[in-house]
Amino acid sequence: MSSPQTQGLPADLALVTGLKAGDQGAMAQLYDRYSSVVYAVALRVLGDTGAAEDVLQEVFLQLWRKPGAFDAARGSLASWLAVITRNRAIDLLRRRRPETDIEEVVVSAAPDLAAEADRSRAAEKVRVVLGGMAAEQRAALEMAYWQGMSHTEIAGKTGQPLGTVKTRIRNGLIALRKAFQT
Amino acid sequence: MTEHEQYADDLALYALNALTGEDRSRVEAHLSTCAACRLELEHLRGDAALLALSASGPRPPQRARQRLLNALTAEVKIQPAHTSVTSHRSWWGVLGWAAAAAVLVFALSLWRENLALQGMLASAGSRAAEDARELDQLRKIAAPIIEPESQRITLVAMKTPPQPQGKAFYLRGRGSLVFLASNLPPLPPQKAYELWLIPPNGAPIPAGVFKPDAHGSASVVNPPLPVGAEAKAFAITVENESGSAAPTSPIMMMGAGE
């Protein structure tokens, strides 16, 4: 189902197919559609506009070089870009080499996030779910996600048992999933 | 506890790239044999993507868009094509020999990595639909070369030997530009050539960043340009390899419309 913003505009899959043929116009359209998502994620992780711009550039260049890495049958491009952006930004934050090739990142997500309005509604929903979590669970999830902290580091910082930290992170992710299944 | 439950919490950490060492290896070994857990991993990544959406902030600066588009132009790539002379004879018929040769040379330069000319001319038959699509792509690429209203601009070196030369084919109405260059001098490290569309009034417009191959040859195909931009001339400068929004070095080559 196309949302109001994407009606009449090429679908993500058509634009990604264009990338495979070297169509720079398709890349420009995808950039205009998703650069705000990628930049926001990179900036949230890195807290530095210059570094976030570098990640923005790198992520879209990776998409340009390997458009086949995105599996349209499994999820939305917005979700896929968000995941590889967050992973790359965390790699930079933690000063480690990229651990995962983008071709190995398969993301399954149900919501249609092609339109900015859809993403805004989804973001609001996520904030509501996070707001409803126990403070300890939300903190564990956010430390793992936005700071790239391991469960060991989180356990050391919060004084919580390792197993508890692990379970809180998983349950936090599952809570987000359930919110979008209803 | 089932085997899947045993890995459930670690899978979530793995989805966040937060698992290291032996724990990571153990989960990867399990994933290699367990389709259910691979599917769950995909879902967990999707859940994590939802979390990413809670990030909000300013839009990226405009310069970031231009920087990306400049970088794309430096990485011009075209997929291999397979087409048939016999099934598209009428199109080739409209080309003069010189234009046809230019198109062929141009196509070869673009597809040199994985295209044999023989294959391009011979393969057809059951791939008719794909051929038609690819021919349409080729036709779009060739339009600035073959359309009568296309401007033909020759760029020559500001100083003579070794005679670098550039040819720009610009179809203003479609915003299509094909630029071919030869005998370009090698570049210093971290540098690239940048092509500029010089309008009658106003600042030069970036028209692609490129690096020549070992023989000094290079091409720029359909760089992002403002629709309808009028070209008084085209010029080349040496810039940083990420490209510049405005020329920062003296013009190396320049040519006005014929």
Residue B76, chain A, CB below 8 Å: the answer is yes
Work out the percent of chain A whose per-residue pLDDT is above 90.
Answer: 52
Residue B83, chain A, CB below 8 Å: the answer is no
Which among B136, B195, B138 has a CA at the least distance from the CA of B170? B195
* pLDDT digits 0-9 by tens, A16-26: 888 888 888 99
Q: Which of B4, B6, B16, B195 to mutate to test the interface with A (most CBs of A within 10 A)?
A: B16
Q: Is B182:B165 a contact under the CB 8 Å cutoff?
A: yes
Q: What is the sign of the dihedral through the CA atoms of A47, A49, A51 and A56? A: positive
B257 Cβ partners below 8 Å, 6+ apart?
Answer: B151, B152, B153, B231, B232, B233
Indicate the range of A36-45, A134-143, B196-205 predicted with least confidence. Answer: B196-205
- Residue B66, token pair as written in the block: 């231009």
**Quick one: CA torsion of A119, A37, A149, B35, rounded to 10 degrees?**
70
Q: Is A114:A11 a contact under the CB 8 Å cutoff?
A: yes
Average the pLDDT over B121-138 and give the result.
55
Q: Is A116:B40 a contact under the CB 8 Å cutoff?
A: no
- Measured between alpha carbons, how far is B71 from B75 in angstroms, rounded to an integer? 7
* pLDDT digits 0-9 by tens, A61-113: 999 988 888 877 767 888 889 889 998 999 888 876 655 665 666 666 666 66
B20 vs A168, residue with greater confidence:
A168
Tell me: ipTM over 0.90.
no
pLDDT value, residue A70: 85
- Measured between alpha carbons, how far is B257 from B246 in angstroms, rounded to an integer? 21
Distance from CA of B54 to the nearest CA of A (A): 5
User: Among partner residues A20, A24, A86, which is closest to B52 by beta-carbon distance?
Assistant: A86
Q: Which residues of B touch A166 (CB under 8 A)?
A: 9-10, 12-13
- The residue in chain B having the minimum alpha-carbon distance to the alpha carbon of residue A138 is B51
Please identify among residues 119-178 of chain B the ones whose CB lies closer than 8 Å to any CB of chain A.
Answer: 137
Q: Which of A63, A128, A138, A145 to mutate to test the interface with B (most CBs of B within 10 A)?
A: A145
Q: Which residues of B touch A156 (CB under 8 A)?
A: none
pTM of the shown model: 0.56
* pLDDT digits 0-9 by tens, B78-121: 333 333 333 333 333 333 444 554 555 555 445 443 444 344 44
> B60–A39: do the CB atoms touch at under 8 Å?
yes
- The residue in chain B having the minimum alpha-carbon distance to the alpha carbon of residue A163 is B9
- Measured between alpha carbons, how far is B124 from A65 in angstroms, rounded to an integer? 28
- Helix (H) / strand (E) element for A88: namely helix A77-93
Distance from CA of A129 to the nearest CA of B (A): 10
**Mean pLDDT over the full length of chain A:** 85
* pLDDT digits 0-9 by tens, B10-35: 999 998 888 888 888 999 999 989 98
- Residue B106, token pair as written in the block: 């141009």
- The residue in chain A having the minimum alpha-carbon distance to the alpha carbon of residue B21 is A150
